[in-house]
Structure 1
Amino acid sequence: MDIILIGIFLLTGIVAGILAGFLGIGGGLVVVPLLSVALPYAGIVQEKVMVIAIGTSLATIVFTAISSTYSHQKRHNIVWPAVFSLFPGLMFGAMLGATLGSQFSNDFLAIIFGSFCAVLGLYSVFKNRYLQPVSDYAQCRGWLSLIGFITGVISSLIGIGGGTLLSPALIWLGLEARRAVGTSATCGLLIAVFGSLSYLITGANETELPKYTIGYIYLPAFLGIIATSVLFAPLGAKMASYFSDKVIRICLGIALLASATQMFIGL
């Protein structure tokens, strides 16, 4: 294994950890575009770069989501009845998203990921991020399984934890913001677990993968990223306390638009 490549994976974890803590975005929005650049140098054929980047991203999210879930549980921010209602949809959606992702072409996955980042980035820069509830959460729990399914499909398809989608949805349905964030963090763990397992299984019979790859999860990148992202996420969170919400929102939009640009340039 090239020492330079290992350094790139460690650096990816540092960037992902800092931005996740500073901007509140899931590591996948950072990890996927960075891995899409680095993985070809590891001997991975171009046609498999995006699917391995997404599978590896979901695997790294499992560990960061465990830490986040534990922190929110200590603060009583998780609404467990909502998690149980979301669970069936999240599980089947994550598995379906991973199955679809393993079948799509590299360019198509890059377009989906880039388009998602572009839309979210423009929204972050130009729109108010706070959504006004349209209903009482207690009256709309029947929608949670469907919302979980949609979130699971999209998140597993592009390699993110799901909080980016689920938190605003829960707030819109009447759940207070801090509990929406805590609940979505727990659901992000479920998405990452089922999504990464599905990418592992669907890639098990793939013959054109390099050494150190289990399914569509590339172990050197996985280990390097989690080794540094866990250490640097607290630094990002500390940085966030020194900036206004507006500055953080604009930085989030710029980071997402940069990710989208990188995806489209690589087509």
Structure 2
Amino acid sequence: MLSLELLPWLPAYLGLGIVGGFAAGLLGIGGGMLYVPLLTWLFELQGFDRGTLLHLALGTSLTTIVFTSISSARTHHGKGNVDWSIVRGIAPGIVAGGVVGGWLAKHLGTSTLALVFAVFVTYSALQMFLNAKPKPSRALPGALGLMGVGTVISTLSQLVGAGGGFLSVPFMTWCNVNMHRAVGTSAAIGLPIAVVGTVAFFVSGRSALGLPPGSLGFIYLPALLGVLVPSVLMAPVGARLAARLPVATLKRVFAGFLFVLAAKMLHSALLT
């Protein structure tokens, strides 16, 4: 039974779920880029062991994304904006990326990863904000290419606790996939990424020390439950709005989100 001491934190978890769920539906992301930094901050305020803060935030974020991805993808699918052939092509790489991401987390420094990530995301954001037009002849790669792309997206997603939309949407638009279809397909791609990550953080955290009561591996159940319900309810709202927004507007909204993400990553790189 969960302690009554958790009740003061419930409004913060609910608010985070509302914002993250709406962003998941609107932009085709899993919400992890919001969940991870804010959950880490909330866990720190609650006095959790500093050695497990980030792991708990990553595991809880990815578990939440399992459900928001289902909710968001269903809405996008209903509007015909999910290309399941892309999802199937990328899926094998997503599994491989889960393994690679775990290995990289142990062998690469945080500052190096954050710096490279910030540069890449800034470039992607500039391309989208300026509405750069890809070559008309550019198309999606074949089966092996899609698998490789899935591996890269999944690897970075595991490291930052996200659903992969920050990479998959720019990649698909770069390959001349319609923006609305890219956002919808990205929401579906986020599901296998989140499932792989959830399993990994559950298994790796089962023997961890210093976890707070209410933890299931590196998944903190009170935060999960608080964030989950509003995020699942808000994801279809964001998805319906995305279907009505002009493509140029949606690109600029997504680019603005990427700029914020890149700034945060760069800040982290300079401080570590």
The TM-score with structure 2 as length reference comes to 0.79
Code of the aligned partner of 2:96: F
Name whichever of 112-121 and 213-222 sits farther off.
Answer: 112-121
| Counterpart mapping for 1:1-267 below 5 A | 1-21=5-25, 25-98=29-102, 100-101=104-105, 103=106, 108-109=109-110, 112=113, 116=117, 120=121, 123-124=124-125, 127-130=129-132, 132-133=134-135, 135-137=138-140, 140-233=142-235, 236=238, 245=249, 248=253, 251-253=256-258, 255-256=260-261, 259-260=264-265, 263=268
1:218 Cα offset (Å): 0.8
Unaligned runs of 5+ in 1: none
* Cα separation, 2, equivalents of 1:82 and 1:24: 14
Q: Aligned pair count?
A: 263
- CA positional deviation for 1:159: 0.7
CA spacing shift, 1:253–1:216, aligned 2, 3 Å: same
1:2-56 deviation per Cα after TM superposition (whole angstroms, max 9, x unaligned): 3222222222212323444555543001011101111123342112211211111
Aligned-pair Cα RMSD in Å: 3.3
- State the shift of 1:230 in Å: 2.5
Moved more, 162-171 or 111-120: 111-120
Alpha-carbon distance in structure 2 between the residues aligned to 1:262 and 1:23: 23
Q: Distance in 2 between matches of 1:78 and 1:23?
A: 13
1:85-131 CA-partner distances (Å, limit 9, x unpaired): 22211112124324544x479xx547745763575357536752555
**Whole-Å Cα distance in 2 between the matches of residues 76 and 49 of structure 1?**
39
Residue type of the partner of 2:117?
A: F
Which moved further from structure 2: 90-99 or 201-210?
90-99
38-47 or 154-163: bigger deviation: 38-47
